[in-house]
Amino acid sequence: MEDCHLSKSYKVAILGATGAVGTELLELLDSRAFPMSELKLLASSRSAGKTLTFRGEEIPVEVVEESSFKNVDLVLASAGGSTSKAWASKAVAAGAVVVDNSSAFRMDPNVPLVVPEVNPEAAAHHQGIIANPNCTTILMAVAVWPLHQVQPVQRIVAATYQSASGAGARAMEEMKDQATAILQGQTPKTEIFPYPLAFNLFPHNSPLNDQGYCEEEMKMVNETRKIFGDPDIRISPTCVRVPVLRAHSEALNLEFAQPFSVSKAREILAAAPGVKLVEDWQANYFPMPMEATGRDEVLVGRIRQDISAPNGLELWLSGDQIRKGAALNAVQIAELLVTRNWIRPAAAVSV
């Protein structure tokens, strides 16, 4: 973490602490040495009695209630939209800043939607809540924004290859159980997903609108426009769930007003924050979800001229859905609040 104000430490609560993103938040707060004086782990009654280890200490998981946010400076919420809607305002009323990983507040005009590599300054205008974008949006934004700054992107056609982790820890286990069942000649069971995901794929099963685009696809459209501050970008995504555990991949076709040199694009992305260029053309080696898993960077490669459009570029990316697609982005937002003094000064206590 850069230039952290270590003269202050913060009382932090994780809402949804026992989920896949919650446990990743714990690991990141530790490994990135976030300045904390106290940590609260909050979850639903299903997790009552559990403990999680943080910095060598066993911390009990508490059932979230009205008094949970007393004297808390920062809440990292990753417990779903309905939970965030129920508790975020209560946390803010108690004096906390909430970084929310659900879709509950993303398109609220009064709530900043932040990817720190793209629009960090937006976090300064928070009114108590900052929204973490959808995982597919984050990964795409990190890769496209450096190019967009040099020459604005006019149109994006995106195809996503989304891992089981996007549906949570139980979905990951379900896919593994399905794979075992299929290999043993049994019928795979489905509970989280509508269809078997092991050895299979299907278009994202979120609700469809009248134009035939699903909710997940429209998140990419609307959130990218908000983050980039450009309502005119044309975006057409197709989101697909694939049998991968925890890293998403995306095939992006970018259209500009003028030709964009492939060598220039490669140079820009090689130096871009949060990006790692992965290309070995002779070996046909490019980003893979297996290698993106557990990494902070978005792996980007296979950058090439669109042979059907003189102003088009094609690229491929893979990024860890739980990490940069969720937990890491939230912790990076928290670090922005600390390093730039955008968290309420009264909430911080001097060490």
Catalytic residue numbers read 135, 248
Q: Is there a binding annotation on residue 27?
A: no
User: What CA–CA distance (Å, rounded) separates 335 from 1?
Assistant: 7
Report the sign of the C-alpha dihedral through residues 305, 309, 313, 315, in that order.
Answer: negative
Q: Is there a binding annotation on residue 241?
A: yes
Q: Is there a binding annotation on residue 19?
A: yes
Helices (H) and strands (E) in the chain, counts: 8, 15
Q: Is there a binding annotation on residue 21?
A: yes
Q: Is there a binding annotation on residue 215?
A: yes
Q: Is there a binding annotation on residue 166?
A: yes
Residue 247, strand partner residues: 320
Closest by CA to 320, choosing from 350, 298, 347, 337, is: 298
Q: Is there a binding annotation on residue 47?
A: yes
Report the sign of the C-alpha dihedral through residues 331, 251, 224, 135, in that order.
Answer: negative
Closest by CA to 269, choosing from 289, 292, 298, is: 298
Residue 320, strand partner residues: 247
Q: Is there a binding annotation on residue 305?
A: no
Q: Is there a binding annotation on residue 295?
A: no
Q: Is there a binding annotation on residue 178?
A: no
Burial class (CB in 10 A: 0-12, 13-18, 19+), 51: exposed
Q: Is there a binding annotation on residue 128?
A: no
| 3 state DSSP class of 263 | helix
User: What CA–CA distance (Å, rounded) separates 187 from 63?
Assistant: 37
Closest by CA to 23, choosing from 327, 332, 291, is: 327
Q: 79 φ, ψ to 5°?
A: -130, 15
Annotated binding residues, written as ranges, equal 18-21, 46-47, 106, 162, 165-166, 215, 241, 321
Annotated binding residues for phosphate, written as ranges, equal 106
Annotated binding residues for NADP(+), written as ranges, equal 18-21, 46-47, 165-166, 321
Annotated binding residues for substrate, written as ranges, equal 162, 215, 241
